[in-house]
Amino acid sequence: MDALTRGDYTVVLGELHAGWPSFDCQVFTPSHPDVERLRAALADDLGERRVRLLFPADWPRRTSRTAESLTGPTDLQLAFLPAPGADPDRVLPTVDVTVDDSDGRLVATARDGQRWPLTEVFSGLLAAHAVDGFKLVAAAPYTPRITLDRLVVARQTWRTTVSECGLADVTAERDRFLAVRRWRRDLGLPEQVYVKLGTETKPCFVDLSSPAYAAMFCAMVRAARGDGGDGVSLVVSEMLPTPQDAWVPDGAGRRYFSELRLHIVDEEWQADR
């Protein structure tokens, strides 16, 4: 805390999600001291009578970090495929919705007469596509770390493919470790990184100095090529902050990271609604 007071700190911008209320998730919301205040704030931002998607269990990228938990008392569940968690009092099957043109705008109407702009009905799907669409830097083969004052807005990143990295065909454990070490040296990678394969949903941590991690990483690259071919993307980003940067202590002296989530709204747009 003394370092914070002195201004001796660095903040890393982990992610910037467009069109997605990041505080509405099953991981963090239950720990908030006033959940109803969060629910009211979300309703104030997005309005009442929202149409929530009722996602199937195998929906891509559907995890506890993305699943919403601040459903309002007037929100409905739009059922478009068989899915668990349906509330009979809230569920709205797509077959019960008609779409018509009203003064040049497409409007969805339920059997009970409730109406929404069609964009509201599709807002969940639109948000799912837009959530990772805002990028601060172009997708170049290499982008350096970008820092504004004390804020890191982009981590150092390398982009290649499973074919270019040359790791998919290496099989023996010793050869895999040596191949990974050469690859790390040639690209100038840090020892600890996050890698994201185009066939995977999320990035994963890899310690390039570990034979076990090297073997696992080569197996992942080989599997990605089998699933998507030689052109599957491979994105590597520096691990920042590092374990040595953990600063939040507990009673036993162990240290942790701290994540701050901010929800930013357009107040002028709200005023014009």
Domain range list for the chain: 1-131, 142-240
pLDDT score at 178: 98
- 214's enclosing H/E stretch is helix 211-228
Of the pLDDT bands very low, low, confident and very high (cuts 50, 70, 90), residue 272 is very low
Are 132 and 196 spatial neighbours (Cβ–Cβ below 8 Å)? no
Contact partners, residue 184, CB within 8 Å, separation at least 6? 191, 208
As a whole-number percent, the residues of the chain with pLDDT over 90 amount to 53
Of the pLDDT bands very low, low, confident and very high (cuts 50, 70, 90), residue 147 is very high
Of the pLDDT bands very low, low, confident and very high (cuts 50, 70, 90), residue 266 is confident
Contact partners, residue 149, CB within 8 Å, separation at least 6? none
Report the alpha-carbon distance of residue 67 to residue 52 in Å, rounded: 11
Residue 25 scores a pLDDT above 90: no
Residue 61 scores a pLDDT above 80: no
Of the pLDDT bands very low, low, confident and very high (cuts 50, 70, 90), residue 133 is confident
Q: What is the mean pLDDT of residues 187-206?
A: 95
